[in-house]
Structure 1
């Protein structure tokens, strides 16, 4: 039996088909292996991405919580300073009212003494001048009364301003001091 050119062609064609099938299957196997490798790498990177996103979200939440706590601490200190200042101002006003009452009592006593001194001076036989000359003690008592009243108003204003200034200073310090 001899090999005819037709059988050579059939054998060549069959071999080519077998080789093509093997190569095609190999390419398909290569492609599926390569595709599986890409999918595995994509999943690895996605897991890393998700892990980093979770870490950043946790850090953000912690930073926000810390900022809220600091804000609450500062607001609490400011409220405490404000309450203390209001107490100081109320005490200063109470002190000013008490001083005003005492001042009024002393002014009234000075008027009475001035009136008595004027009566004594007019009955002593001293030379009589004008009405102002007759009552120098009354004029002095009136001047004392006005000066005392002005001093009381100034003292009350000073006390309020001082309490407010100290409160402002304490508030500033509470905001600028690290805790």
Structure 2
């Protein structure tokens, strides 16, 4: 069972991230002659929802720590990379049939579905452990530029944070697209009903 609090958090974060992507595109690629939505509105939405995203991420960490839910990710991580390599080999070479009695190996499409779900598990943990914290930290640095160091990585002011925020956001978009695809084969019902 996926607990109700986790499903509510998941859907809220998905909606927040989607709106943050749209407003981020407006803030990054608008010109004086074209913007998807009003620039000032996009700026305000991006700031407010970015703070909400960061706060909800901290809430997730606290609740996962208090309830022991973090152990689920620890169990998923254990041996995950070796299982990905193993399933990847099965997709490429086929599944070996065990025993003298034979039997049929599962179709490659079933094995590749398993591989995609394992990759999804890896990317989910990566999103929680790396992408979300980086988005929150770089976003806060951009929100409060007066606290940014004078120079970092040879660049002045907030530029390293802005570049990192942009690229981490792009990685987040790629994760979201892959995540939505995987949900079509293995997860929408689970994230709605909890089973």
Same fold (TM over 0.5): no
Larger of the two Rg values belongs to structure: 1
Greater RCO, CA 8 A, separation 6+: 1
Structure number having the greater helix percentage: 1
